[in-house]
Structure 1
Amino acid sequence: MTSFEGVSVGDAIAGPSFTVTRESIRLFCEASLDYNPLHLDEAYMLGSFGKTQFGGVIMHGMTNFGLITRMITDWACPQGAIHRRLETRWLKPVRLGDTIDPAGVVTAKHTTAGSRWVIINVTVCNQDGEQVARGEAMVEFPLPA
């Protein structure tokens, strides 16, 4: 366990790997109510009507968001910290069979009159080391009571 004082700029955070399957995509469709054929229908994605540059079904971009959120909360919550903000950009599509890994690096620490804050640059990379998403998270370490 770490406290705000124990966090340093440059500290690394890692989340669990995630391999994309048809089942994981289907489950996300059900949880999010997003049944876009981009995520489900191989024939649509390869056919003349739905053909895109993706070359087949792709994972929901919000799955990246969820993996980053899990990584941040797994790191922050045991220390009494609160995940307050996350902004991300999708950079590349994630396809069936890809394995993606969320990671973060602490880039700044700030203390205000009301709290203490940690800024984390976050990335998700595929099995080839290519970034598929990146962004920034903010974690609050409330002042001791």
Structure 2
Amino acid sequence: MLTHVDEKGVKMVDISKKEDVERVCVAEGYIKLKSSTIELIKKNEIVKGDVLTTAQIAAMMGVKNTPNLIPACHPLPITSVKVDFEIFDDKIKTTVEVKTTYKTGIEMEALTGVSIALLTIWDMVKSVEKDENGGYPNTEIYGIRVVKKVKK
């Protein structure tokens, strides 16, 4: 167990001498849900409201707030965020594409966007995903990963 911070501490990487470069990152992830929950989402019958629109907004907020959540992440100018959902019988796939022209990559922003979107979906549907004991045996977030990284 870590009980102290060593003498190296935590530092942000010095990117001051790097050139601005156009960058694109695409990340994806999944949330497994009951098929009955998927049907309620499709019909926009979830009590908390429009699940996918809320998750889309949350993903954009997550992207823009990444440096506030991850300590060594640089704040950078986001030039574009695109959020897509693909609905299956038992899961929803979330894809987030983030663009910038800057000195450092945007993987953390794309991964954060996906993570926040999936967490938002869970929050929106938890009342219908819960079992009789208050647990979530059918609900799972998984497969969060970078699927594309472009540096031009």
User: TM (normalized to structure 2)?
Assistant: 0.31
User: TM (normalized to structure 1)?
Assistant: 0.32
Which of 1 and 2 has higher RCO (CA within 8 Å, sep 6+)?
2
Which structure has more strand as a fraction of its residues?
1
